[in-house]
Structure 1
Amino acid sequence: MGWFHAHGSLSRPAVSILAKADGKPAGAGVLLPRRHLLTCAHVVNSALGKDRLAPDHPGPIAVPVRLHGPEHTVEAEAELAVWIPPRTDDGGLGAFEWNGDLAVLRLSATLPPAIEPPRWHPMAQRQLVRAWHGSGEPGVFADAEVSECDGRFGYFDGAERALDIEPAYSGGPLWSNEEGAVVGLVTAKLRIQGTLRRAWGIPWQRVARELHDAGAGHLLPPQPEEDVRDHPGYAELVSLLDGPLPLSEGWIRSCRTVARQCGLGHRADGVPSADEFAHLLLTRGRALPALVEAVRGTAGTAADDLLAIGRRCGLPKLLSPGEHERLLVLLRALPTAAAAGVPGAVRAALPLAALPAALLTGHDGGHGDEGRNGAGPAGRLEALIAHLEGLHGDSSPIDDGVMAVPGLLRAVEFVAAGCCPADQRIALRRWNRAVARRLGVHDAAMTERRLEAEQWAQSASRGSAPRVVAKLDPYGAPSGGTSATAREEPERYRLRLWCDDGDGLRQVSDDSERPRGAEEVAQEIFAAVGSLRRPDPSGPRPVIELIVDRDALEVPVDRWKAAGPGAVLPMRLGTPYPLVVNCPELRELNGGTMLDQWRERWVRLDAEEPVHIDDATAPDPEAVCGLVMERLTARVTIDVAAHRRTGVVQMCLAAGIPVVLWDRSGEEGSPAVRHAAGVSARELPEAVRTYRTKTLQRPEEYSGRPVLAWADAGRALPRLDLADPTE
């Protein structure tokens, strides 16, 4: 045992496999990485009420489990992932033995960070081991000594004054305190005459072999004696830890701090060797950040060197255990209303980052009992932090010694600015500043990110942009076709106009039944925009919202120019102001169901990942339907062949998707759609407006003709009553 060591059996999470019928312990298990559990197959059979050595695969089943950690108890369902049945007919077996008998279960819940998988070590003769009852009670255990182990079977004899091993111990770990690790699984007690209390188990050696043979070797944790000498960072770390760093002031205190933060014990005297410390830094995710934190105040150059090695070698964890726990505490303390704004703040901070929707919304299409056991929201928060830790900085490092601003720290600034009450905003910013200094991020860079976050929060708090709502109807025969080349614009239109300054809609148009040409329509809309009351001139630009029927979705209103004596500038409607279309007709086709979905989708606009539809991802209408119904998608971009475009657009709008972007030019690989790909959802109207201005400046380079359908469920539409009851 080295200078660092596990705290002992109390560091091991206890796993109870419960019977489905009555909830009583059917056996125990061992936690594996990535939310998996290992137990005996016969324990799963017992939990299901079947014959315990039945070899048949149980099918797609789940059993209730309970995990007891140092600070948390988690109840969840665990689905069967790997089945290695008991094999009693293999050759070379004794009367009381069988091969196989392993099962891997996958948890439905995300676990708190304090519940970690234990280490493993090969079983060997004369090891002193301890086994626990499936109830998980820490005081119900049996002590024994391994009397024989051949790598396939391990036999152990109970101590004279120890409890006897019973069936509910099956599947649980055999813990060696000397090794600080699990050496095998309890399998069965030998029912033989005599005073000796003997049982047998599956050694770690056979566990590893059976899982590898079943194609599940990737689920195994790395062995504690993993050789890291070939790791690209090993030699650099050993050299650094053998150099001036251990001579720095407070080195012993730093070593003890790292041990404490990593949940490890340590020897009372001395310090770890450079080799042992390098091994810890490369095999325990948050050990290197913990060491950097410990030495930053006394050995800043060494802290920078450690960070540089971590970046070069791709060590994934950014935060020390203490920093990670503190951030979780701060975020979990947010009021419900503030917490609801976190997804939008994260997306605004990192608009180009790949952020899985399940991390932001909890909708992963998987298991439904996260809410029941209470681990779901907390687990998603931890998973979101872990994902953000792995993102590259939002800028390039100046040189090898200067850290770019990590994406996580940028996101925290946006959450603090846009979501938090004053006290919690101060606490989050204090946490962010401390982590930035530990990482060597320059104060000026963090100040810049804070200003960006405050500008975003200020913009978001201004509320919705003022708007002009225009109901446009072709006068006479409808346009019919939808292709930009085949359709002729209707010569005359009926127009009704409303203004919305933020105080509700007010109708401003007169003589709405009078037919108008395109130039006159543009002139009247511009006049309505000019009449808007804008209490904050520095706020967002007014938006022109066109209410159209399905046949007019691609009428190029954005390119209409105003006429008249005052029309000095050849302005097109879609260039000075964002112009969007809204088609209630399609949204209302399926009645209340799609209207409810539309409202729910709009709520998720900042959280759900956008969906892109092209001919490869959705080659037919059924594929389109499946794609838009898979999740409550709120934003879709469409780039399909021209002959399919109308149908795909209308399907998306009929499904209640509030934000849909496409290119009416019919150009394959639309440059307009590509232009908007990296833009956050709420910035799309302005991004499309900007693109339209560029089509006037450089038409060959900006050849797209973007159309943006935008249906804000939080803003009222005018009542579109017919002017003439006979129509």
Structure 2
Amino acid sequence: MEPARLALIRGGTKDGPRSTGSGYLIGPRLVLTARHVLVDRETGEPWPKLSVQIGHPAQGPTRTAKAELLWTPPDELDVALLRIDQAMDIPGSVLWGRPAGRAPLPYAGLGYPKAAVVETREVENLRGTLSPLSGSGRHYVLDQGPAPEPGADGRNAWGGVSGAAVFCGHRLVGVVVQEPAAYGARRLLAVPAHSFAQDAGFLNHLAEHACALSELAAIGVPAPRAAPGTERTPAERALEQLLRPLFADPAARTAHARELAGELGYETADYTPTAADLVTLLLAHPRAHAALGQALAARAVDQAFRSCLTAFLTQARVLGRGPFLAPEEFDDLLYLLRGIRDEQSALLPQAARDALPYAALPGCLDRPRIEEHELADAVEALEELPDGEGIPEGSPPVPALLRLVEYVAAAVDGERQHELRAWSKRTADRIGIHGDALAERRMDAARWAERRRNSLVSRVVMELERDGAGDGDRYACRILLVRTDGTHRILKSPSSEPKTPREAASALAEAVGAARQEPGGHDHVPWVTVVVDRPGLHLAVDEWESGAPDDLLPPSPIGADYQLSLSCPDLDRLVATRGQDRERRWKKGRTSVVVTEPSCGDRDKLMHLLRTEHRDTARVVLHGPADQRQAWLEACLAYGVPVVLWDRDATGYDDADRLGELAPSDELDGLAERVRVFRSRTAAHPEERRARPSLVWEPEGSYPRTEQLHLRDPWRGTHAS
């Protein structure tokens, strides 16, 4: 890494810079950086003005040049090449590399993060550990040493380091592109150099500018050695004592240590480890102690050895020595979960929320579905969570991950179930979990799966609350799946940031997709209940459109896709008898209907009608003056009428026939579907619009109440720039 090649990149318009990032000079006129630094995020177009400052300001004067976007990969990988308008005379050339093996590598880089702003942007020396075992393989995971707090504006602390070159030793191995918000500035992601360095366009540009690409040399890590005895920590000495009973034969210890070092990706030439070296190896790699435990488990032929091994593994976890799965166990589980996710992408998040209701789950499990590239991070996060005490008392506690695996296994059939349960049993035996404890988790999982199969999702509930503190049309949004047995499950959003109508509709579409993956949900047209407060009853939620997934399918109103109705449970707090009245009307008045006509008179006469001859009626169709509709609607709901239909575009009684196509007085059970079909036809033929129907449908039984929605402004964005 050569500080003189550091680049500060600014993009913008004639009115000034709009984007700041980092880069690295890889040729006299070529700067490597992240693509998103160079483009307007709103339009996707490159900034018309790009400038680059070359050099480290602490090591002498820097030079500024104009630049143009020269190359981006055809597969939209987040890297780019800039060509500056003057050549920089910097001796030497860039060496390229690729991390090899599984051992964590120290890395370094230089960039201009927002957190390092004093009067101007200052340079930060990025440093930490690159772990080849973390992530999905599409990015390198960089665990940071320095981890600044986010700024007062909530933006990413590392904003500005996107485009920084990542070095392992003297070789460039990647480009920083992202800061995952969930890790609190402790982690960055980088695009691997090998993913773009063989692109023909990239190589042609390097050849044209006389800076040929060196071989991407494999970068390994020598096996770690122990420090002198006086410098070793109490934890190191404690682990060495726990290891002694496991290796009565020093030659066996040496053989195990060499084999373990090779399995973990370290270079083992001339590696003859002592007991202290083995401890150092165990502390250096996050999965080393688990891998050693897996190898030793095969030798646990007597109870004394088994007890010593369990004590070692337990103490290693108490000391915080990383995850409990060995590399092979981790890879096998990912393979099994990927196959299940491909068929049921909603199963893993659902099982996690039901199996671990009080755990702080990773963000990827707080959404209706999980993506394939998120599986590894999810498993790593779950490895750190306990589940409960051991059975019998004093045995090792069961990890939360094993409970989740048992729940997922119970929800699938055939070979997948057998393979997951076999994996769980092998892993539990290896780490010393008592058989009774695992059997207890398996029984819990079986009962959960049985309830899941026998209690279908009856409706999807979306709670909305307008963001009174913000500007524009934004809402707090929570989505629940309500089952036929009255239970419900909250599908937590990635954040509680207020959503636009389009964002709320998109979140709903994702939740409906998860509901359709539930047992029996594939062919069902979902019933969506939108919960609003009294002012929210006028919202045209049925006309909100979710974002189209691609150009092939145009956006569609959610009221055309789902049986969508409104609910206002807030009125229950204002009218104590409303719930009882509603249940009575459902039981006695399903076939009765009130259609308001001029003879109904004003609001007081309507209320009298609902108190007397229509005391049990379950349905009201509201016609009449638009300026009185809200008062009439609230009167109906206050008296417990569960179903109210009206045309929000109607101005008076003369518009009553506009709802005729819906047959509002016909069979009640088919009304919601008739409304959906009408909305769908209207969306397809907007020129023929006759009405804009709104439907309140208060469900039978008690509404699943959740805590009040609270709006907050979370950290925004994911890019590091």
- Same topology, TM > 0.5: no
TM-score (normalizing by structure 2): 0.42
Which gives a bigger RCO, structure 1 or 2 (Cα 8 Å, sep 6+)?
Answer: 2
